[in-house]
Every structure is written in C-alpha cells, then in structure tokens.
Chains A and B, each alone.
Chain A
Amino acid sequence: MLEHHPDLTASVIYGLGWLYLLLFLMNSVWVWRSYHRDGEIKMFGQGVPVASIWALYAAMLGMISAAHLTGSNNPQMFLLRMPEAFKTTVDYLSGPRSFFSLSVGLFVLLIVLREWLVKPTVGWVLLNVSLIFLALSMTDYDFRQIVSKPDNVPIVAMLFICAYFTWLSFACAVENDQRKAAGKPLYSQEKNDKILVWPDLVYSELICMVLVTALLVAWGIVLQAPLEEPASSAKTPNPSKAPWYFLGLQEMLVYYDPWMAGVVLPSMILVGLMAIPYIDFNKLGNGYYTFNERKFAISTFLFGFLPLWVAMIVLGTFLRGPNWNFFGPYEYWDVHKLELLNNVNVSEWFWYTVMNTKMPVAPAGSDPVTQAGYILVREWLGLVLTFAYLAVLPPIMAVTIFRKFFVKMGFLRFMVLSNLILFMASLPIKMVLRWSFNLKYIVAIPEWFFNI
C-alpha cells in the first residue's frame, strides 16, 4: 500500500500474459509458414526443419503466456523481468548524443544492410525482438509510466507502422533493383498487378474505413482521453510538451532560438518538401520502387524523415522529462535532477577566449546606428561564418562533390537544393557543436531577437 512505485502489479502481469499469447499465436502462424517455405538446416549431423526451431520458440512463448495468465500474481514471486543490468546499461548509454548517433548509425545500417534486412525471416526476427523488448520493458515501472500514457500509445504504434512501411518499401525496392541487375522486368510489370477500381480498390477501402472507425471507437472507449490539470499561467506543467507530432520541432528549440526553430526551419521544411518535384532531375524510378536508381533522393529524404523527425519525436516523447532533461527509458523522472550547462556564444568565445578582451559595447545613450555598428562588430565572426555557410559553401559544393548535380541542374536549381540541404544539415551540425563545444548561438543578437 505504501509502495509508491510498484514495478509489477497483478494487472501488468495479466496484460503481459495476453501480449505473450499474441506473440505465441503470431509465431504459430509463422511456424506453419516456415514449415512450408524454409526447408531444413543441418544440425547435429542431420537435417532439421527450420520450422522446428520456430515451433520450439512458439512453444516457449505459449508456456510463458500460460504462466502469466494462470500463475501466481504475486509480483514478488515474478521472475521474468528486464534484467537490471540491461536497464542500467541502457540508461547509462542514453543521452541526446548517443541517441542521435545511434539513430544515425541505424539509418546508415538500414541503407547498407537493406538487402539482408528485407528478408522475411530477418524482418520477422526483428519484429519478435522488438515485441519482446517491449514486453520485458513493461515490467519496469518508469518505462510503463511513460509508454502507457494514453497520449503516448499512438506513438508506440506509429513506431511499428513506420518501421513496417520503411521495411516494405525497401523490400519492394530491393526486389526491383535485383530484377534490374538481373535484366528481368520490374515486379509490377511481370506480375501485372493492376486491379479494378471497383470493386477491388473502393470496396477494400470501404471495408478498411469501417474497420478503422470501429477500431478508433473501441480505442476511445478503452483508453480514455487523459484530462490533466486546469491551465494556469502561474504553474505550467513540467515538462511542457508540444503535441507529439511537433516534438521534433520542439527538440530543435534546445539548439536554436525560438525564432529559428519555430519559424524559419519549419517553413524551410514545408517549402523544401514543395520544392522537391522542381529540383528533382532524376527521371528514373518513376512509378516503381527502387533504391539504386535514386540513392541520393531516397537517402536524403529518409535522413530528414527518420533520424531528424521520427527519432526526434521518440526522443521528445519518451526521453525528455521534467525540466526538459534527458532521462533514460528506465529512469525515474525526478524533478530534482539537474543538468545545467553553461553554453557560450561564438562572439563570447572570440572576444573573451581568443582575443582575451571585453566585448565591444556601444556607449550608453548612443544612437541606433552606432549601436548597430557595435553589434555587428561584436558578432562579426558568427555573421561571417553564417554567410560562408549559406553563400560560400554552395559554390564550393558545386565544383567539388556536387559537380555532376550542378551540371545537370543549372545554377538556380542547384542553389535551391544546396541551401535546402544546408538547412537540413544545420540541425545535426548545431547539435554536434553544442555537444562538443557547449556552443549556444553562432550569432547572438538578443537586442534584435536575432539568434542563430
């Protein structure tokens, strides 16, 4: 009764029982599929059907499920939980740096290992791993608190959906690429997968619509919308979070001035997305899945979408806690945790550290023009750097790594592309600068509400 953070309660154990039962059923189906498709592997000197391994695994899940659903509901007696060592390690490794590096790393692996990843068995194993990870993690109080918040449930679902569709598109793309390499026709051409609008498309859509509506209604009944405290100007919630789909933007606020993170960068995203058809010069890959023919376009887009958007949402939702501090997934959201950093502006670094002098400050009472002059002098390095980044870098790119692009696109289209890419890159660059040098702003002119 006085246990304020019970790691396990009877209802959690039962809930996990149902989850394991679902896994058991899923894998039972997989056993059937595997029996028909996978054939045998050599083990102990004889051929063993791969399906038997799956069957063993499914049986184990079935037993675990039965144990959850029928066994003791005394949490103290319960053994199957996420090992503490794993939790400690994950919490220890968690941090915006490692999280971001990890997500970029995974992104790279996704591209590099795509041909291996799209194998159904690999996909299935990954799904199983992620579900078992989730199930084990649910035995942790803090993880459960944050994941099962009614607000956050859709985000968990989104992760699986996102992963599935990425996997699916890569599966299709890899197949087409392999066909191209082998000189075979594309999948859609060979299989002639055109279908009738009625009834094949519209009827299916209708059924989907009905089922999804039913699902939403059921969801609405089971998971009640969370009603939190009345709004108060004197006491804002801690942490104050944006709606989940904006959490990526909110993460930018950590690194950028509100003006940049809230206005400029989102506008650039919208404009950039609109501009894609006009700057895309690659005629290949129209109307079918492919990766090899559109390496640059797909990688760039997915970089912007997966590590910079989806991963940021995950970070913002699950890993940012009170005071916008970073918390490991198994860490208690303690308001007393302090993570204060003394961040430094480029101008401060230049004048104090490099020049070892004071900053130029306009004499009191001077006219606006003089003040502006002083400010520009104070911030000259940041301004120059920014200018160089946006104006000098594109021409250099045009003559170096993007030479082919520049030739094909022409000046204007190239400048648009390069600036969009630079803007996209500015977020990870700023992150790295913050983590490496405690950099606050490159250009800091609070007098004009202009910080970069």
Chain B
Amino acid sequence: MPATDDYLRDPKRMHKIFALSAVTFLGVTVWMMWADYADEWRGFQRKAMSLIAARDKAKIAAIKQDPEYLKQSAEANEQVKSADQQLKDQQAELDTLQKQVSDLAQKSAATMRELRTKRAVRDVARATYGLKVRDNEPKRIQEEFREKYDKAEADATEFEQRFSTESAELVQAKAALAAVTAERDKAELRVKALNSDLARLSAAVNKIEPTSKFSALKRDFMLWPIINGFNSPERIQQDWMPRLEISLGGMANVQRFDRCRTCHYMIDAVDIGTKPGFPHGSGEEGSGTFEHPFASHPRLDLFLTSASPHPMPKFGCTSCHSGQGSGTSFQNASHTPNHPVIEHEWQHKYNWFDNHFWEHPMNPKRFEESNCIKCHINVVELGHSPKFGATAPKVTRGYELVKTYGCFGCHEINGFEGTKIVGVDLRLEPAAEEAEKVANDPTQVAGKMRKVGPSLRHLASKSEQGWIENWTEEPKSFRPTTRMPQFFKLTNQHDKLAQDFNPVEISGIATYLLGKSQAMDLLSPKDGYKPDAARGKELFATKGCVACHTHGEMAGVNADFGPELSRIHAKIKPGKAGFDWLYTWIREPERYHPRTKMPHLFLDAQGEGDKYTDPAADIAAFLLKLEGSPADFKPTQEYALNTVDAAALDDLIQRFLVKLLTPGQIEEFMKTGKYPIPAKSVKGDEIELANGPDGALDPAEWHQRKLTYVGRKTITKYGCYGCHEIPNFETARPIGTALQDWGKKDRSRLAFEHIHEYLHHHGQPDLGMTIETLTEVDATRLHVEGGAGVRIRAAIPGTTPLAAIHVDEDKREKDALQPDDVILAYDGLAIVDAAQLKAQLRRTEPGTPVTLEVWRGGKSHVLQIAPDGSLEERVQEGLGKALRKEFKDPAEEERETSAAFYYESLGHHGRPGFLWQKLRQPRSYDFKMDETKPYDDRLRMPKFPFSEEDIDAIATFVLGLTAEPPNPEYLYNPTGPAGARIKGESLLQQFNCAGCHMLELPEFRYGADLEGLQASDAAAEFPLAIELLNKLKPPRNGLTGETMSVKSGDETKTLPVVGFHGLIAALPNPDDDPEDQEYVAELWENLKVGDKALFPTTKMIFPAAAMQTMLPARGGRYAEWLANRLLESKQVSQLALAWQASPPPLYQEGIKVQTPWLFNFLRNPEKIRHTTVLRMPRFNMSADEAQALANYFAAADGAVYPYQAIPQREPQYLEERTAELHQAFPEKTHDYLTESWKLLNSPVCVKCHAVGGRMPVSTDPAKDIRAPNLEMAGERLRPDWLLLWLYRPTWITPYTSMPQNFPPGKKNLEGLFGGDGNLQTISTRDALLNYHRLMERDGRIVYDPMTPATPPNAGGDAAAAAQPVNSDPVTATKAAAEADETGGSK
C-alpha cells in the first residue's frame, strides 16, 4: 500500500513537544551543573574565609587603635612632612636632578634596545661562521664570513661601551638625587615599616573581600560554576603523601591524598607561637572560639606546623585520624560519631550513615589515640614526653594494662615480620632452649616480655592442694585485688555438664601442678632463732616492701606492683616448710625463680649473740602472723578439697580421648589403664596416661593419673602457661588469637553468635528495681542504724522483683527484694550511695551470686541474689537521659554514652563492640551456643577485673594494632638519647623504680606576689659556682603566663602564677587561722621569676589561698611515706634527716653519676649511704637492661653517655694547676695533687666520710652524720656535678647534711691554697677524682694543721692504709696551721 502524504502527528504539536523536551534537557543540564557545584565544602570555605577576614579586620582595627602605633605613626608622618617641607626649599635643584635622572634613564634604555639587536646580529654572525668552519668550506668563504662577524662584533662593542657610560652616568645622577632626598626616603621607610603589619593584613583581607569594585567583580566571576574550574579562590585543598601509603584491603597500597583542609580550612592557622589561631569551642558569638570545621587544631605544637614533629605536608590528616581523605563531604570523609547521641545529631544535621564499605573510617574521638602506635611502636613516649607531656595517655594506659595483665601470654602481639618492624611488640621471651636459637638467627628478633604470673615450678614447696583449688576456682575470693583472672563460675559454666566437670578440672590442675612441682633448696633461719613479728612489721615498712606490695597493716600507702600481702598467712602451707618457703623467698627470691621481678633485698642476718637478728625471718613471721616458732605455723584458713566425681572424671577423659582413640580402645583403656599407644609414640598431653606403672591397676594411682591428665589437658586448654611457668609447658604456644593485626581484623571473622539476643535480656548486672541513696527522712522512718545505705524505691513496672535467697544461720529460704529494703553492704563492702552500688554492680559478672546485707523490718538480713539485667535497657535509659540532657555528672554521662557506643557497635558487628563485651563478659558469646558445641570447644577466655574505663583504654590500644607498618621513615624508633629514654622508661616500669624513687619532683603552682619574692644573693657566692649552677641547672622561667585571683584579707588581688619544683617542708596547719595558713616548700631547681634569680633551697612560702595546683611527683610515693613515717615515729628528729633515711629522689641523676659506674651499680648495688634505713636491692637485671637504664638517666638529663671524659685526671690539666700553684705559692715544691690530697685528708672531710684509709673521725657525734666513703666518689660522680656539690651541696639536694666546707668570705686551712675557698673547693674535687692515683702514689696521710702529727710512714703500705686511724691527733695549735709542710710528706 502506498504511503500517504499525511503526517502521522501534527508537526506543530511535535515542535511544541520538541521545544518542551529541549527545555527539559536544558533544565536537567543546569541541574547537573548545580549538583556538581553545590558541594557542601564550598559553604564551609566561604564561611571560613569570611571568618579569616573578620579576624584580620579586627586585628587591623586593634592596631589602628593602639596608642603606641598611633604615636609612632604620627611621628613618622610628621617626619615625612617636614622632610617634604625642607625639599620644597630646594625645589629647583630637585627638579633639575629629577629631570636629569629621567633623561638619562630614557637615553640608556634606548641604547639598550639598540644594543640587544646588535648583540643578536653578532651572535648570528658568529654561529654562521662556526658552521662554515665545521663544514670545512673553502678558505675564501670562511674568511668572508669571518669578516662579517668581525664587523658585527665591532658594531656591538661600540654600543656596549656607549651603554656602560650611560649607565654609570645614571647611577651618578641617582646618587645625587638620593643625597638630596635622603631625609625623606628614611622617613618614608619608617612609615612603611610601621605599616607593614597593616599592609599584610589588608592584603589578606583584600584577597577575600576586595575593596575595589572591579576586583570584587572578578573574584565573584571566578566563583561561578564552570569558571571555578580555573584557579578559583575556592578550591579543593589537597595534601599528598606519596610515601605514607594507604592499604586498600590487600590488593594495593595507594598514595595518600588528604583533602580534609578543604573544609577544615583553618586547621593549621596559628596565632602567636603555636597557639591555635581559631581555638575550638562552642563557637558562640563573643566566645572567641570556633566550631569545627572552622577551628584550628588544638595541639599545633605537636601537629601540622612545620616546627612540630608531625608537619602537615609529611603526615597529612588521615594517617592519624583515619577516614577517607579523598572525600570532600561530611559523609564521604567517613567521620565517625563518638557515641549514639552524636550519631543521632549527625543523622539529622548531615544525613550521616555508617559507610561500612570504607575500611578505614575515621577514629571516633574515643579512639583518636589508636593510630599513634602505628608509628610509636614503643608507646612509652606517648605517656611521658619531656617536651610535650602525656600526649596520648589513653592508648598508653591501654598498653600498660595489656602489659600488666599479661594479655600477650595468650594473645601474641608480634611487632616483627622477620626483622622488619610492623608494630608494637609484646612477645614473651623465648624459653631457655629456644632463646639461643633465636639469638643466633639473624632473621628473628626475640620477644622481651616476661610471663606476668609467678612461676609454678616449685609450687609444692609453697602451697597445698586445698588452697590451689580454691584460688584457681575464684582468685578474687581470696584476694580481691588480684590480677589473676577468673576462669570458672562464668556464664558458660552454669549448666549441668560444666557443674559436673569443673570440680574435676580444678582438682586436676592442682594435682598436676603439685605432682610436677620440682623440689627447691630452701633456706632456714638459724636453728632456734625465734622470729619476732613486731620487728618484722617494722622491717616490712622500712626495708622497702611496701614500695611494691600493699598490706592491711601499712596505712597510707597503696602499691599494686606486687600482690597484696594481707592474707598471705592464709595461703602458705603449714609448718616449718611453709615458713621456710616464705623465708627463702624474702631472703633470696632468685632461688624460687631466677628471673623473678622480686629483687634481692640484702636482708642478711646480722649481729651476734643476743643481738642476732634475721630480718627475713622476722618479716616472714609478720606476714604469717607467727607467734611461736616456725614449726608452729598454721594457715589461718582451711580449704575444703573439691569432691571429684569419679563418673564425671571418666566422662571427661573419654571426651578428651574420643578424637584420638576408637570407642573400643577407650573402653578397654578405661577398664585396664593400659594406654593402647606406646608411651614413646605419644606426643600430646596423653603422655600422662601412657606413663602408667606396669602390673595390676592400683585404683589410687589410677585415679591420680587420670586427675593429672585432666589437669594437664585443662592447663593446655586454658593456657595457664601464658602467665605462669609450668613444668612441661616451657615451649607451648599461646592459645589465643594473635592481636598484632586485630585492629583491622575482618569483621565477618568475629564470632558474634547470639550476643545480641543475650544482651537483650542479660549482660548488665542489675537489681531490676529503682534505687536511691538513703535519705535522712527514710533513714529515720525505717530506723536504719548508721543512717547510710541505698533504699529500694519501687519495682519497675512490668518486671518481677529480683529473686533472692534469704540466708540465715542454718537455713536458706526463697525471698525477693522489696521496696523499702535498704542495702547496707554488697559482698561485704559497705554501701553508702546509689552510685557506689551501681559501680559495684557494673563490676559483677551478671548471674553470679552476690551477698547483700539488707535492712528490713528494723533489722539486718543477709540475702543472696544473682543480679541480672538487660544491657539494652541500660543503654536505652542512658541514651534517653543523654538526649534529654539529664546527666549531672559528666563522668556518668561519659560512661553511659560509651556503653551505648559499644552496644551499638556490637549491633553493627563492629570490632570495638566485640572487644568490649569480650572483656566485660568473655563467655557471653557462648550464650545458647554451649548447648550445641562440644564441651571442649567452649570459650575459655577468662574474666579480668577490668572496669569499663579500662576496657575503653584497652580497646584504644588493641584497635591501633593493625600490623600495617608505615614507611620505615615514619616509624618512631629513635637511637641516641631519645631511644635511650624510651628504653629506659619501659625499664623504669618493669622494675618499678618509681615505687621508691621520685623521678620528677612535685610541681607547685601558686599566685605569687612578685614584689615579695626575695631574690637569691648571687654576690655572696663564688662566681664560678654561679656559673656552674647555671650550666648544670639552667634557670627555668617560673612564670607560667597564667594569672589567678587570690584573696588575702578583704582584698582580692590578681597575681601571676609561678610554678616550681620542690619538696614540701611544711603543710598549712589546719588549727591556724585560715588567714595564716601557709605552705612552705623548698625549691629544688634554679628558677627565674621575672628578673629575679631564685637558687635551689630557697624557701617558698605562700598562703594556702594562693595555691593553684600541686602536680604530684612522678614516683617516690614510698620514699615520701617512709620519710613521714620515720618522722612521725620519732626515729628521726627532722624532716631533712627523714629524707636522708629514705630512697633518694633520682632528680637529675644523669648529670650526677658516671654512666659506667651506674651500670655496675645497677647490676650489683653496693652500699653507698649510711643514713638510709634500707639499701638499694639487686634486681635480676640483664647487662642489656642495666646498660639501657644507665644510659637512660644520662639521656634524660642531656648528659654525655656512655663514656665520660675526666679532664681532671689528664696530665696537661694537672701540670697547669701545678704551675699555677707554684706561681702563687713559690715556697711550695710539691705538685698540685699532693696539695689537694692534703686538703682532702684534712679534718674537714674525715668528720663524716671515710677517706684516705681512715674511718670517719667525728668531732660532734650529734651533728656529724656518717657519710659515704669517699673512695668511690671519683668513679661515681661527674666532675662538674661534684664541683657544684662541693661548692654548695644544698643546691643539689636541699635536705642534705653535707655542709658548705669552703664558703666564700671565710678563710679556712690557710696553709693550703692560702685559704682561698674557691681554689680549695676545686682542689678537693680534683683530689677526689684522682683518689685512687693519690692513694697509690702519696699513700695514707693525715693533714691536720692543728696538730703537728707524726707523718705515718705508710706510703705504699696497703695493710696500714686499710686500718682505721681513729687515734690520729685531733687537737692542734694555731701555729701549727702555718707549718703547712708538717701535715704529710712522702
């Protein structure tokens, strides 16, 4: 059929439709452009710029109002004006000169233009000629071109000369002009300099808000869509870190691009120094603070700035914070809310959602420190840095918890791949047999951690089965503060099967440990010695035990480095054997375990006859509460043995064997006790079964064998050897999941099981009723004795009251908590308020029985309950309260929102949530799983006594373990002093040095009345002493820059805050009038307050009201406690003496002692002081450790290490001194050292010190205190320190009894160095440093100017030198003093 000419559709209508569709298309295109343009970052950048402009404008306004500026600027303008005025008089001359300059400039410029052409012509001619030469053209042609060149060259030269003449003329003319206008030019320069800040700020403002209409228009134009692609003022800010790669899930590592600054525009803006330019805060008008993203980084001293350790171009943002650096929207950057309340806010504000596709979401605030440990693999510097303080305290705390609780015993944390560092390394040191192999293998690095629990190798010599079983079952029932976690009675052990098997397992463990225990050589006190517990108590206090251990009878000091010892008498085995074990342990701990942390305390027996005492025995008697002889010792508690159900034992063994043997073999074996596989082919724990005796089956032996096997199996299962040394488990592998890359563990590989269902109904120990702190009204109404407790207010509607068992003397009845019950005690702990009860509940494992003391009906009852509640309910309640802002206590809000965060994380199968719940209730993941899995596969992670805050810190640490090492250049593993500090810091912790010693003194900050501060009198000192003081202790600025208002009397003054380090000498007396209460502290450092110098020992006295803060000392709690105890118990009369008796502060130890000496001392501490009541113990320190620690102290104080030059021993020095001596005292013929030796052997030193072979000769026993033997000073002390010490001992240690022996302005021993105190001090120092040489060379001498003593002729006689020379004459005449030669000679 032919087509018609009719159109199917009306063309006009088609045109309209086409037009419409075209318009639609256009609209969509515009929409697309708009969508592309409307990035949220543009808005942020725009606002950021306007904020910057506003700030700069404010600064401009401030400068313009500054009277100083106004004054100077007026002056400068006036100068310009007057200079102009002057020039007016010379106007004609000026005009001529100006014209001349301008003419000449024009002329020379014209010449230059010509000259350029001529040069070009010449260059072409030269090149053309060169070509001819190269082409070997005929000579004629070559010459022709050569001529052309010559001509061009001549032409050019002519113009060159003309130009240089004209230039010279121009310079001259300009100089002439400048000479006339010099005055004005200077004035103008000054104006310019004055206005330079203004100009800079205006330029900055002008860039953002141009004043010129045209510029503003141009700027606006550049911001248009499309146009903004070309160098727009608003653009994406990008940081590129090619060496700091980001791992994209195993396929590729890509270079890191961070665009965070696109929105966080002022993140690196500084104000003055490193103060943030836009401090973070609420951002409210007038607060001077800014909200993100308009705020600056709070720690610009530490991050982003070029002078900081983490400059922006090198580190970017996401290397620390994580997140998607390339994202330019709030959502794409993968911000992570800190808790669900913030999440809620973000969802509304930014449409936030959890983008689980990005593997590196930003760390929420709570984990902001996690990433630090990727580079800071040693961690310790994050907790303590001399320059920056505690920069990452939370991750450090997590690290310390992991170290203290020994998580690495079961969960390997391997920081190495071969020898390549990949992260924090916390591995157990290899067992003895492995250690050597690892040491010789260049591809391996050995672990360094020791097992955290005590060795169980000799357990039988210490405890008995009953106690071991009791302890294993629930350690905290014996010692509430123990770090040992709980393995039994947990949520997956409440069923029948576990109830049957657990006693068998516990009994098995004890049987195994005792059965395999190895004998050890025990020490015993001398026969018939009767230990004295009272004396033991005193020794326990003074010999340093409480630096690590807590004991109920030692009030005021709590150390948790070692176990709490209050109940040790209930655990040691009875009789002499038990006593001897403790005695041996106290006296020689290394006998029990060669690598124990317990040091050797040198508690050797002393005295003779009646005076014979054995301190270790006394302390043991005190700890064991021993009254009679050691043989009478009986533990104060008896422990019932677990009843082992024979059927359960057999059942358990069969369950173990089912994987190894056939059913028939098992049945046969259980009947006959003959293991079907020969012992030598058995590899695993079954060796215990295979090693049976031949012959008939002895039921007792058989039972024992089975128990031992179950014990061994159970130890294998629970990995007890991760913390304890156990025979046969020396090389066993850790049982837990390795943690070195747990922080990036794939979430789908975490077994969440039924945790959500569990937490719906459980997981939060709770009474299920509303509670409140008992009010006074209720206390009266209910007649509560004591008036304190927590009242149950009401049942929560819809829940049944918590079931309880009413425990009476002999019967147990069902009961329930009721309203108006008042809880007085929780598991024996008195309860006074609701918060405390809640805290206790949080620490309880849900479902475990708890004993409550309850006040009901006018008397006290005992109820047993199993508090159990829903975590979900707790979280919902907490969130509701947080949203309604009902929390009053920020700590509580933090805890509840944290719980909500972790709960939510669990819901999303997040790592943090998994970890949190795993540590709170390790077995809860077995909820309903234990019904279907084999008994042996049940979860075995024990419950540690962690609080939720602890868990938060641990999570921060563990989530940072990703084994994604950054480029090695980013690893912070320094050598040199910084490295020595890091190594030392961890050793300080390892050996608990800070338990006894103060490492840093307390810092006091108070509002100081600067007028009233008395500057130290430098004029009264030797100039050299002041110089040395300033060298060894550089003056520190005491002004903190803060001010505080101090009320004194009726007036309130604003005073500057001064901070200083020192020791308290007197606390405010509470009996005094508040007006008169004041602190007295002794300054230990060289302080500068304004222009006043305050030397150490200055007494700082200030009213109690002026105290701002007191930052406690680092360490040394024991020393303080001991000093106070000695003073209070009147064992010493003054605080200074008490301090002398206590462990000394290790303040600036590095500049004091010589490193080699310290090394030896740490390895084998000798007795130095006679004033202390205790001695430095000997730790089981390896040479490496001692070396590192010795280096640490030097490095920490910036001293030279490991070797120190002693120039005072060098011949050149000594010759110079001798020459000086001979010049000043021509009558002396002997050398300088001999003169010094006399000085040292004068009566001054020997009063307190043993010196030159003599014991101290006290002239006033009440005042003279036995001081260290000077024999060791020369090897021990550094020359500069020693000199300063001799100049002014109290400058170094304010509490010392050492006097200033040669004070300025006083002549003493004028026969030596003419009585010049300065020379005498130096000379004493030199003698000390050459002590051994002098002892050898000059021998024993006595110099006493008072007495013409017979010179002991004993130069080289060592025997004589060693004898005390107490009989030396001590009286003398003044005349004898002149006869300087009588003191001693060769």
Q: Is B214 an interface residue (CB 8 A)?
A: no
Within 8 A of B (CB), among A193-215: 194-196, 199-200, 203-204, 206-207, 210-211, 213-214
Determine whether the beta carbon of B907 is less than 8 Å from that of A2: yes
* Given A2-B876, A217-B28, CB of A196 within 8 Å of CB of B248: no
Within 8 A of A (CB), among B1-44: 1, 3-5, 7-9, 11, 14, 17-18, 21-22, 24-25, 27-29, 31-32, 35
Q: Is B249 an interface residue (CB 8 A)?
A: yes
Q: Which residue of B lies closest to A5 (CB)?
A: B907
Shortest C-beta distance, B43 to chain A (Å), equals 19
Question: Which of A2, A213, A234 has most B Cβ within 10 Å?
Answer: A2
Determine whether the beta carbon of A203 is less than 8 Å from that of B250: no
Determine whether the beta carbon of B872 is less than 8 Å from that of A2: yes
* Given A194-B3, A211-B24, CB of A221 within 8 Å of CB of B35: yes
- Measured between alpha carbons, how far is A200 from B14 in the docked complex, in Å? 9
* Given A200-B8, A221-B35, CB of A233 within 8 Å of CB of B357: no
Q: Which residue of B lies closest to A3 (CB)?
A: B907
Tell me which of B9, B250, B358 contacts A232 (CB under 8 A): B250
Tell me which of B18, B32, B35, B358 contacts A206 (CB under 8 A): B18
Q: Is B746 an interface residue (CB 8 A)?
A: yes
Determine whether the beta carbon of A1 is less than 8 Å from that of B879: yes
Within 8 A of A (CB), among B334-362: 340, 343-344, 356-359
* Given A2-B879, A192-B1, A196-B8, CB of A221 within 8 Å of CB of B907: no
Q: Which residue of B lies closest to A209 (CB)?
A: B21
Chain B residues with Cβ under 8 A from A213's Cβ? 25
Q: Is A4 an interface residue (CB 8 A)?
A: yes
Determine whether the beta carbon of A200 is less than 8 Å from that of B9: yes
A212-232 near B? 1/0 per residue, CB < 8 Å:
011001101100000111111
Determine whether the beta carbon of A2 is less than 8 Å from that of B251: no
Within 8 A of B (CB), among A270-308: none
Q: Is A189 an interface residue (CB 8 A)?
A: yes
Question: Which of A214, A220, A228 has most B Cβ within 10 Å?
Answer: A214
Chain B residues with Cβ under 8 A from A207's Cβ? 14, 17-18, 21
Q: Which residue of B lies closest to A228 (CB)?
A: B357
Determine whether the beta carbon of B9 is less than 8 Å from that of A231: no
Q: Is A80 an interface residue (CB 8 A)?
A: no
* Given A2-B904, A221-B31, CB of A233 within 8 Å of CB of B3: no
Q: Is B875 an interface residue (CB 8 A)?
A: yes
Chain B residues with Cβ under 8 A from A199's Cβ? 7, 9, 11, 14
B259-270 near A? 1/0 per residue, CB < 8 Å:
000000000000
- Measured between alpha carbons, how far is A234 from B249 in the docked complex, in Å? 7
Q: Is A74 an interface residue (CB 8 A)?
A: no
Q: Which residue of B lies closest to A216 (CB)?
A: B28
* Given A2-B340, A2-B904, A227-B357, CB of A335 within 8 Å of CB of B29: no
Determine whether the beta carbon of B875 is less than 8 Å from that of A195: no
- Measured between alpha carbons, how far is A214 from B18 in the docked complex, in Å? 13
Tell me which of B1, B18, B32, B248 contacts A217 (CB under 8 A): B32
Within 8 A of A (CB), among B902-944: 903-904, 907-908
B1235-1255 near A? 1/0 per residue, CB < 8 Å:
000000000000000000000
Q: Is B748 an interface residue (CB 8 A)?
A: yes
Determine whether the beta carbon of B22 is less than 8 Å from that of A235: no
Chain A residues with Cβ under 8 A from B908's Cβ? 4
Shortest C-beta distance, B1084 to chain A (Å), equals 54
Q: Which residue of A lies closest to B27 (CB)?
A: A214
Shortest C-beta distance, A295 to chain B (Å), equals 28
* Given A2-B903, A194-B1, CB of A229 within 8 Å of CB of B18: no
Chain B residues with Cβ under 8 A from A232's Cβ? 248-251
Determine whether the beta carbon of A189 is less than 8 Å from that of B28: no
Shortest C-beta distance, A338 to chain B (Å), equals 13
Determine whether the beta carbon of B17 is less than 8 Å from that of A229: no
Within 8 A of B (CB), among A170-192: 189, 192
* Given A199-B7, A200-B7, CB of A230 within 8 Å of CB of B18: no
Shortest C-beta distance, B25 to chain A (Å), equals 5
- Measured between alpha carbons, how far is A233 from B250 in the docked complex, in Å? 6
Chain B residues with Cβ under 8 A from A234's Cβ? 249-250, 746
Tell me which of B32, B251, B343 contacts A230 (CB under 8 A): B251
Determine whether the beta carbon of B9 is less than 8 Å from that of A1: no
Chain A residues with Cβ under 8 A from B25's Cβ? 210-211, 213-214, 217
Q: Is A436 an interface residue (CB 8 A)?
A: no
Chain A residues with Cβ under 8 A from B28's Cβ? 214, 217-218
Determine whether the beta carbon of B251 is less than 8 Å from that of A229: no
- Measured between alpha carbons, how far is A203 from B16 in the docked complex, in Å? 12
Q: Which residue of A lies closest to B749 (CB)?
A: A235
Chain B residues with Cβ under 8 A from A204's Cβ? 9, 14
Within 8 A of B (CB), among A224-249: 227-235, 238
* Given A196-B8, A207-B17, CB of A231 within 8 Å of CB of B249: yes
- Measured between alpha carbons, how far is A412 from B1016 in the docked complex, in Å? 119
Tell me which of B3, B11, B358 contacts A229 (CB under 8 A): B358
Determine whether the beta carbon of B21 is less than 8 Å from that of A221: no
- Measured between alpha carbons, how far is A268 from B1203 in the docked complex, in Å? 84
Chain A residues with Cβ under 8 A from B8's Cβ? 195-196, 200
Question: Which of A194, A221, A230, A234 has most B Cβ within 10 Å?
Answer: A230
- Measured between alpha carbons, how far is A229 from B324 in the docked complex, in Å? 12
Q: Which residue of B lies closest to A189 (CB)?
A: B1
- Measured between alpha carbons, how far is A218 from B8 in the docked complex, in Å? 30
Shortest C-beta distance, A342 to chain B (Å), equals 20
- Measured between alpha carbons, how far is A200 from B4 in the docked complex, in Å? 12
Q: Which residue of B lies closest to A213 (CB)?
A: B25
Tell me which of B1, B21, B356 contacts A210 (CB under 8 A): B21
Determine whether the beta carbon of A2 is less than 8 Å from that of B875: yes
Question: Which of A204, A206, A232 has most B Cβ within 10 Å?
Answer: A232
Tell me which of B1, B3, B21, B904 contacts A211 (CB under 8 A): B21
- Measured between alpha carbons, how far is A236 from B345 in the docked complex, in Å? 33
Determine whether the beta carbon of A217 is less than 8 Å from that of B249: no
- Measured between alpha carbons, how far is A204 from B21 in the docked complex, in Å? 11
* Given A2-B879, A196-B3, CB of A230 within 8 Å of CB of B748: no
Shortest C-beta distance, A271 to chain B (Å), equals 36
Chain A residues with Cβ under 8 A from B31's Cβ? 217-218, 221
- Measured between alpha carbons, how far is A192 from B251 in the docked complex, in Å? 63
Tell me which of A211, A217, A231 contacts B251 (CB under 8 A): A231
Q: Which residue of A lies closest to B341 (CB)?
A: A1
Chain B residues with Cβ under 8 A from A189's Cβ? 1
Chain B residues with Cβ under 8 A from A211's Cβ? 21, 24-25
Shortest C-beta distance, A321 to chain B (Å), equals 14
- Measured between alpha carbons, how far is A235 from B14 in the docked complex, in Å? 55
- Measured between alpha carbons, how far is A233 from B4 in the docked complex, in Å? 64
Chain B residues with Cβ under 8 A from A229's Cβ? 249, 356-359
Tell me which of B18, B340, B359 contacts A1 (CB under 8 A): B340
Chain A residues with Cβ under 8 A from B746's Cβ? 234-235
B44-78 near A? 1/0 per residue, CB < 8 Å:
00000000000000000000000000000000000
Shortest C-beta distance, B39 to chain A (Å), equals 13
26 contacts between A and B (CB under 8 A): A1-B340, A1-B879, A2-B340, A2-B876, A2-B904, A2-B907, A196-B5, A199-B9, A199-B14, A200-B7, A204-B9, A204-B14, A206-B18, A207-B17, A211-B21, A211-B25, A213-B25, A214-B24, A214-B27, A228-B357, A229-B356, A231-B249, A232-B249, A232-B250, A234-B746, A335-B748
In order of increasing CB-CB distance, the 5 nearest A-B pairs are A232-B249, A230-B248, A234-B250, A229-B357, A200-B8
**A4-B907, A203-B11, A207-B21 given. 19 additional CB < 8 A pairs?**
A2-B879, A2-B903, A189-B1, A196-B5, A199-B9, A200-B7, A200-B9, A204-B9, A210-B25, A214-B27, A214-B28, A218-B31, A221-B35, A229-B249, A229-B356, A230-B248, A232-B249, A234-B746, A238-B748
Q: What residues make up the interface of A, taking CB atoms closer than 8 Å to B?
A: 1-2, 4, 189, 192, 194-196, 199-200, 203-204, 206-207, 210-211, 213-214, 217-218, 220-221, 227-235, 238, 335
